[in-house]
Amino acid sequence: MPARDSDVDACPGALRLHAAADGPLARVRLPGGLLTGERLAVLLELAEAYGDGHLELTSRGNVQLRGLRSADPAVLAARLSAAGLLPSESHETVRNVVAPPMADLALRTLVEDLDRALCADPALAALPGRFLFALGEVPLAADVAAVPSSDKFTILFAGHDHGVRVPASEVVPALLAAAHAFLAERAAAPVGAPAWRLHELPDGPARVAHRTATTLATPTAQDTPDDAPGTPIAGAGTPATTRGTSATAVGASATAAGTASAALSASAEAGREPGGAEPASAASLVGVLPQDDGLVAVGALVPLGRLGGEALRLLSTARRLVVTTARGVIVPDLTPEAARRWMRALAEAGLAVEDTSRWVGVTACAGRPGCAKSLADVRADADSTSTYADGLPVHWIGCARGCGSPSGPHVRVEATPAGYAVTRQPDGETYTGDPATAVAAARRN
């Protein structure tokens, strides 16, 4: 468990602003990345009236308003609340839910059900702001996830399968039970800095899985010894080792019926086995994307996650949007003809709509001047050196904290007092030379 110099969870929100170097910063949670053009228009108005005129897209599919030097926090909160972007003051920093960017209606409904149920549970306001729920396969290390598997959903704990299976209608109760189990294990942990993520607890995935299975167990549930090995799931933020309950399926149901429709069961029946395929890459989320209903979507990457100007105004005219964890946006539910128009308009507005764009797989932290800890203007340096490369994603960071770093293999470009250090993660292989050359070599190998 990593050492901490503070027990305070200061994760920013829309009410709890972060004092960044360029002014107060507000983070607005978008469960599942789901957004409407109408709500985006409100964010645009707030960014232009009080901030720097841009929205910053985060690695969890949320948005941030920066440079809010002239904002009255009460007015900001009231505007966000009126737009439906702040449904709960007590739970605003714990509404951390991610889903596949092309999630169908059934999975989107599940996201909305989980968000409502989470906000309605007073005890879960105590969750840390970094605790992450996932629905479906995502490229992030979620603390608890529900993944369609055969005719049920598999509940994963920090990426590990400990045998908990639930029907579609019980996914939300199962995820809430897992969150309660995390809080209970967190409270019972040895004295020290409190865990913010499930994997930080000693034997956290196994212990929380056991508590969750016990909460959900029916008379047919099978408990097995706590020292039986769990099964890590590839691509789900799996730690190097794990111990837990048996991977044998645990028949489970919650005491209260979920609100998801029967369509969720159909979605689960059509789903992949956990770990059976990699989540969507950045390159697969640009251009025209097929939907399962005969319509199409258009995906675009936002260079270095800074969305403003004509692109922001254009997107605010869309009926529905998805903000992706690849720091991009998707405009869904289009006819092919409408998709072609959106492609042209988004490209003219400066967004990347081709899978050969130099921005595919390139991300960065805020860097200077927004972050006082940063040693460089990483966005400017990434802009001046990035070229297209068909290989690993690359993330530029201004200091060793590595904010926004991908959870999977990637190239890390870290600003140091002596210049940029380029390494491949997680093996740490080092590449030397000027940043452009070193990054290109690291991404290819």
Residues facing 419 on adjacent strands: 416
Can you say whether residue 12 is alpha, beta or left, with left for phi > 0 and alpha for psi between -120 and 50 degrees? beta
CB 149 within 8 A of CB 97: no
Per-domain boundaries in the chain: 103-279, 283-348, 362-444
CB 92 within 8 A of CB 13: yes
179 has pLDDT over 80: yes
Q: How confident is the model at residue 191 (pLDDT cuts 50, 70, 90)?
A: confident
348-400 pLDDT per residue, tens: 999 999 999 999 999 999 999 999 999 999 999 999 999 998 899 999 999 99
265 has pLDDT over 60: no
Question: How many Cβ atoms are within 10 Å of 286's Cβ, its own excluded?
Answer: 27
Measured between alpha carbons, how far is 160 from 173 in angstroms, rounded to an integer?
19
Looking at the domain that runs over 283-348, which CATH code has it been given?
A: 3.90.480.10
pTM score: 0.87
Give the range among 112-126, 231-245, 327-341, 402-416 with minimum mean pLDDT: 231-245
pLDDT at 263: 40
Helix ranges (DSSP H) in 22-157: 37-50, 73-82, 105-119
Instruction: Report which of 232, 174, 241, 228 is spatially closest to residue 202, judged by C-alpha positions.
Output: 241
pLDDT at 236: 43
- How many Å separate Cα 270 from the centre of its chain? 24
Q: How confident is the model at residue 231 (pLDDT cuts 50, 70, 90)?
A: low
Residue bearing tokens 């212990």: 207
Question: How many Cβ atoms are within 10 Å of 105's Cβ, its own excluded?
Answer: 13
CB 248 within 8 A of CB 163: yes
Q: How confident is the model at residue 239 (pLDDT cuts 50, 70, 90)?
A: very low
pLDDT at 220: 33
58-99 pLDDT per residue, tens: 999 999 999 999 999 999 999 999 999 999 999 999 999 999
406 has pLDDT over 60: yes
